[in-house]
Amino acid sequence: MIAKDIRYTQDTSSWTDWQLEYRYGTFLIFPPPGIIEYVDNLRREYDPRSHASCQAHISLSEPLPRELTDADLVDLHEVVGAIGPFTIAYGNVHPTPPYPGVVYDIDPKTNFNALRRSVHSIPLFERSPLSRRDIPAHMTIAEFITMEQSIELAADLRGRVREGTWECNQIEYAVPDEAMRWQRVLTVPLGASTVD
């Protein structure tokens, strides 16, 4: 895929400020088949609003400050290609005070943080404030719930939900449509420094 083929939402007039920040999408890690369906089912049950907007994922980057270009894709493939695949472990369901929500922890944080730093090192992000860089890697089960619901849900799910691992061998670029439903539009493999 070339960057000019990516379609961005034209009508954002009904979007809130936080939604507008994500107009040009972001880079995410999605669990593979066999895991994503399980976590999506949890999201559907405990936070239908979040489930309706995006599949289960791990947020990797800041929102893009502008449309992705072919030069950005070359830069991205270069930095991501220098990082080999690694095993992601998901587990330890917990609430996220002071903000409402229930998430899976993601480990190893050192590998994830190295990948995040690499993605943020490309010129695309050179003027972007990295305000989310210190948020620990996580995979959300529910976020549009109250703090009280978060504490109760985490206690209820702890020890009852599946935990496990998968081989992280790619990142994906996703952009929202007019209804703020995220569409996966581009995959970039880890450990492969050439652009397809």
Where do we find the tokens 């492969």? Answer: 192
Looking at residue 128, what is its pLDDT?
85
Query: What mean pLDDT is reported for the chain?
Result: 93
Please provide residue 172's backbone torsions phi and psi, each rounded to the nearest 5 degrees: -135, 150
Q: Which domains does the chain have, with CATH numbers?
A: 25-189 (3.90.1140.10)
pLDDT of the residue at 43: 97
Model confidence over 19-63: pLDDT tens digits?
Answer: 999 999 999 999 999 999 999 999 999 999 999 999 999 999 999
pLDDT per position as a tens digit, 131-152: 787 889 999 999 999 999 999 9
Q: What pTM, to 2 d.p., does this model score?
A: 0.93
Strand, coil or helix: what is 93?
strand
